[in-house]
Structure 1
Amino acid sequence: MEMVQGIDLSGNQLSSFIPSAIASCSALEYLDLSHNIFEGPITDSVSKLRNLQELDISNNKLSGTIPESLQNLTVLTILNVSFNLLKGEIPKAGPFTKLTASSFRGNPELCGQWIFSLPACPSAGSSGRLWNFHKLFKYITFVISFLVVYCLYVSLLYRYFFGKRNVEQPSIEFPHPRISYKELSTATNGFAKGNLLGVGGVGSVYKGVLDNGTLIAVKALNLEDEAAHKSFNIECQVLGKTRHRNIIKLITSCSNLDFKGLVFEFMSNGSLERHLHCDAGKCNIGGVCKMDLQTSTDSHGRCPWLGISPS
Structure 2
Amino acid sequence: MLTGNVPTFLGELTLLQRLQLGPNLLTNEPSLGLSFLTSLTNCRSLNTLVIGSNRLDGVLPNSIGNLSTTLELLEATGSHINGMIPSEIGNLSNLVTLALGNNDLTGSIPETIGKLQKIQQLQVYDTAIHGLIPDNICKLTNLGELNSMNTKLYGSIPSCLGNLSSLRRLQLGSNALTSTMPSTLGSLKDILLLNLSSNFLSGPLPQEIGSMESIVELQLSGNQFSGNITNSIGEFQNWVNLSLSRNRLQGPIPESFADLVSLESLDLSLNNLSGTIHKSLEKLLHLGYLNVSFNELSAGSYIGTDPLCGAAQFHVKACKGNKHTGFSKTKIFMVYTLPSITLIIIAVAIAIGLLTQRARNTHLLVRENSPIHPFNWRISYYEILQATNNFSEDNLLGRRSIGLTYKGIFHNGMVAAVKVFNLQLQAAFKSFEAECEALRNIRHRNLVKVISSCSNPDFKALVLIYMPNGNLEKWLYTHNYFLDIDQRIGIMIDSLKLTEVL
User: Structure 1 length as normaliser, TM-score?
Assistant: 0.48
Q: Which has the higher contact order (CA 8 A, sep 6+)?
A: 1
Tell which structure's C-alpha radius of gyration is larger.
1
